Amino acid sequence: MAEAMTGMAEEVVPGLLLWRGLLDRPAQAAMVADIRGVIAAAPLVRPVTAWGRPMSVRMTSAGRVGWVIARGRYAYVPRHPETGTPWPPIPASVLAVWRAVSGWDDDPDCCLVNWYGEGARMGLHRDADEGEEGFHAPVVSISLGDPARFRIGGTERRGQTTRLLLRSGDVLAMGGPARLAYHGIDRVLSGEGDLLPGGGRINLTLRVVRSA
Ligand SMILES: O=C(O)CCC(=O)C(=O)O
Ligand SMILES: [Mn+2]
């Protein structure tokens, strides 16, 4: 299954695989319902960066560990920072995507949930808190809701970048030479999708974490 799925992907840049429209509309709607369940158990928070600025994206997690910014430091922790309760499990619908595309035997430890409201974006960054062993696995990203302009470069912050539009139902895997590449969301095309009432974009990233 994993190999067959890998064959169906477009390799946008080395290591960055894209499955356009992997999730059809009913699958997207079902996944949104599952994510609303995650958010009900683990409310979205707006992390504050090390520079003291609140991020424009609101976040929560599912899985063994969740990604947080704690006193200016990025960390994977086993409990929600505000409620103190363990993160809810990663929904089966989301795990099924990981199993189909990651080519990885183990399930991910974290599903980071990003909620982009009007004007939200995410600056260029690397997913580099998962620990050396976690870097061998890809990061799998699922887009739901309004389309977004995604950008990816190399392992240096400066340098050439490639842009692509991510639409609802698209799935990306960042592995191999793209695993530690700088990437971000320049802009969400608010209101151009019709999956989420009132607009907005949900992005899920699945990560193997060996640092926590
Ligand atoms: O929203 C996206 O598509 C990317 C999110 C991302 O890069 C992250 O959560 O680390
Ligand atoms: Mn990222």
**The CATH fold of domain 2-207:** Jelly Rolls (2.60.120)
Tell me the mean pLDDT in the region 201-211.
95
Cβ(150) to ligand 1 under 6 A?
yes
Probe ligand 1: pick from 129, 140, 141, max atoms within 8 Å of CB? 141
CA of 25 to the centre of ligand 1 (A): 21
Per domain, the residue ranges of the chain are 2-207
Taking alpha carbons only, the member of 193, 181, 103, 101 closest to residue 141 is 101
Confidence of residue 4 (pLDDT cuts 50, 70, 90): low
Cβ(141) to ligand 1 under 6 A?
yes
The SS3 assignment for 98 reads helix
Question: CA 174 to CA 105: how far, in whole Å?
Answer: 16
Taking alpha carbons only, the member of 115, 114, 107, 103 closest to residue 91 is 107
Taking alpha carbons only, the member of 15, 28, 1 closest to residue 144 is 28
Question: Burial letters for 183-198: b for 16+ Cβ neighbours within 10 Å, e otherwise?
Answer: bbbeebebeebebbee
> What per-residue confidence (pLDDT) applies to 5?
73
| Ligand 1 atom 7: residue of nearest CA | 184
CA of 89 to the centre of ligand 1 (A): 20
Between 67 and 193, name the one with better pLDDT.
67
| Ligand 1 atom 3: residue of nearest CA | 203
User: What confidence tens digit (pLDDT) does each residue in 95-115 have?
Assistant: 999 999 999 999 999 999 999
| Ligand 1 atom 10: residue of nearest CA | 127
User: What confidence tens digit (pLDDT) does each residue in 107-146 have?
Assistant: 999 999 999 999 999 999 999 999 999 999 999 999 999 9
| Token duo for residue 66 | 């969740």
> What per-residue confidence (pLDDT) applies to 63?
98
Question: CA 104 to CA 41: how far, in whole Å?
Answer: 28
Query: How would you classify the pairing of strands 183-188 and 148-152?
Result: antiparallel
Question: CA 9 to CA 129: how far, in whole Å?
Answer: 26
Cβ(203) to ligand 1 under 6 A?
yes
